[in-house]
Amino acid sequence: MNNKELIASMAAKMNAPSSVVANLLETTVGVFTAQLAEEKTVGFQSFGNFEVRKKEERLSVHPSTKIRTLIPPKLVVNFKQSNILKDKLKGLPHND
Q: Classify 66 as helix, strand or coil.
A: coil
Examine the domain organization and report whether 92 and 50 are in the same domain: yes
- The band of 91, judged by pLDDT with boundaries at 50, 70 and 90, is confident
The answer to whether residues 24 and 61 belong to one domain is no
| Residues 9, 32 within the same domain | yes
pLDDT digits (tens, 9 = 90+) for 57-74: 999 999 999 999 999 999
Looking at residue 48, its pLDDT comes to 95
The pLDDT value given to residue 83: 92
Number of domains composing the chain: 2
Q: Are residues 27 and 59 in the same domain?
A: no
User: What are the φ and ψ backbone dihedral angles of 73, each rounded to 5 degrees?
Assistant: -65, 155
Query: Do 45 and 34 share a domain, yes or no?
Result: no
**pLDDT above 70 for 49:** yes
Is residue 75 domain-shared with residue 29, that is, in the same domain? no
Whether 52 and 10 share a structural domain = no
77 lies in which domain range? 41-96
The predicted structure's pLDDT at residue 96 = 63
CATH number assigned to the domain comprising residue 61:
4.10.520.10
CA distances to 3, 21, 46 from 14, rounded to whole Å, are: 16, 9, 19
Can you give the pLDDT at residue 94? Answer: 73
CB contact at 8 A, 50 and 39:
no
The per-residue pLDDT for range 12-46, each reduced to its tens digit, is: 999 999 999 999 999 999 999 999 999 999 998 89
- Shared domain check, 25 and 59: no
Is there a single domain that holds both residue 56 and residue 88? yes
Q: What is the pLDDT of residue 92?
A: 79
